[in-house]
Amino acid sequence: MNTSPTEDITQVPGGCGPLLPAVRAASVPLRQQVLDHVRAEGRAARAGIAQTLGISAGSVTALTADLIVMGLLREVAAPQPRDPGRGRPRVALEVVAEAHRVIGIKLSDEHHSAVLTDFAGNLLAEASLPIAPGRKPLEAILAELHALLARLYTAAPGGARPVSAIGIGLPGLVDHATGRVPWSPLLSERDVALKHVLEERLRLPVHVDNDSNMLTLAELWFGAGRAMSDFAVVTIEHGVGMGMVLNNRLFRGARGMGLELGHTKVGHDGALCRCGRRGCLEAYLADYALAREAATALDLPPGGGRQATLEALFARARAGDPAARAIFSRAGRYLALGLSNVVQLFDPALIILSGERMRFDYLAAGEVLAEMQALGLPDSRPPVRVESHAWGDLVWARGAGALALSAVTENLTG
């Protein structure tokens, strides 16, 4: 397994967004395809656009002229040939970064994170807000959001300049199409019309999605998934989530709420999950599951908090405590079971394990991957590649920023 201990994702020089052209629906305008391609490349010549998208040079000229008039693309000097005295000066195209700004937000149960991004996908500012854990009413979450945005605008160059859209990722069941949240471990209410409420309060377009989808978008736009057409992301933090990219596009399922790996069942009448049901995978893997077992098996003093309990558990496992190691070993076996199911269902080219808990190396041990392979059907395929990325929370917010950026681009070019 390849492991990336980096605390934050770094944008690949030359642009952001999927590098491989997807098989797009006929309803996706060519103008949007051109703009997406230029943003992904950073700078692109018209001839390269025509070749990649399979359209005529005349069409590219007309489409890019439209985008230049709209203030979304501009011409820049391209690298000159060895003999600069021959022929006309070469030009390329780039996205007008200052044309629009968007905000990406990750809501969590310990601290919220936000980033400000320009139209080219460059990070302009970031902010975080520590919060009290536990489920809260919507009004309390809204108050925290306003405090977070105030911090972000204070850190932003140019202050509170206009923003075109906000993307928000949060754990739980989220209907991206409608912006409703049937259930989230952050909210005391159920079936919350979060998009509608936020748009009324903020007077901005708001796009809401599951936080695991946001991390998957971050990998697709800025990370290891840029040059891959199909991959899966499995997240292990306060819960267990999953995102999937198929043909360079985020897959959400028919009703927009699929791929809830953490709530797939691994046992009847099993451990109690925070969703209220028993036997869910995350009830054996998530931080509250590890802390629950640690408090009992290790007789840790109460009142120290979940994070302190997890740190004590990890320290004892590192020191060779057999009870602590057994807790991680059991969690690793359930992780192997979940990953094996992902492989059998989707056969991805790559599985990325991500989230704060991936720094617990017992969950990424060779024994876990060996058991994952042993649980699958015997065949001649090479083992699925698995990587571990221990990114910080800002990466999830960057994925939410990519969600907002996609929506703004579609709205402008549609």
User: What is the distance between the alpha carbons of residues 126 and 147, in angstroms, rounded to a whole number?
Assistant: 13
Token representation of residue 67: 């985008």
Predicted local distance difference test score (pLDDT) of residue 4: 47
Q: How many CA atoms lie within 13 A of 136 on its CB side?
A: 16
> What is the predicted pLDDT for the residue at 149?
96
Angle in degrees, 0-180, between the axes of helices 194-202 and 138-155, rounded to the nearest 10: 50
Q: What is the dihedral of CA 384, 389, 390, 393, to 10 degrees?
A: -120
> Tell me, what DSSP letter sits at residue 363?
G
Range(s) of the chain covered by CATH 3.30.420.40: 99-217+394-413, 227-390
pLDDT of 270: 87
Query: For position 28, what pLDDT does the model report?
Result: 79
Question: What's the CATH code, domain 99-217+394-413?
Answer: 3.30.420.40
Choosing among 2.40.30.10, 1.20.140.10, 1.10.357.10, 1.10.10.10, the CATH entry for 2-81+88-98 is: 1.10.10.10
- Write the single-letter amino acid at 192: V
| Token code pair at residue 389 | 């990325």
Neighbouring C-alpha atoms within 13 Å toward the C-beta of 210: 29
Other beta carbons within 10 Å of 116: 25
Q: What is the DSSP letter of 365?
A: -
Closest CA to 237 of 186, 310, 287: 287
Q: Are 225 and 12 in contact (CB under 8 A)?
A: no
Residues 207, 185, 139: CA angle, nearest 5 degrees = 65
What number of other Cβ atoms are within 10 A of residue 34's Cβ?
27
Residue with tokens 């809501």: 107
pLDDT tens for the chain, residues 1 to 414? 554 444 444 444 468 999 876 655 556 799 999 999 999 999 999 999 999 999 999 999 999 999 999 999 999 987 655 555 555 667 999 999 999 999 999 999 889 999 999 999 999 999 999 999 889 999 999 999 999 999 999 999 877 689 999 999 999 999 999 999 999 999 999 999 999 999 999 999 999 999 999 999 999 999 989 989 899 999 888 888 899 998 888 998 877 777 889 889 988 888 888 888 899 999 998 888 888 888 877 776 655 677 788 888 888 888 888 998 899 889 889 999 999 999 998 989 999 988 777 767 777 678 888 888 888 887 767 888 998 887 777 899 999 999 999 999 999 998
pLDDT at 67: 97
Across-strand partners of 102?
Answer: 117, 165
User: 148, 129 in Cβ contact below 8 A?
Assistant: yes
pLDDT confidence of residue 302: 53
- Domain over 227-390 is classified CATH 3.30.420.40: yes
Instruction: Please tell me whether residue 359 adopts helix, strand or coil conformation.
Output: helix
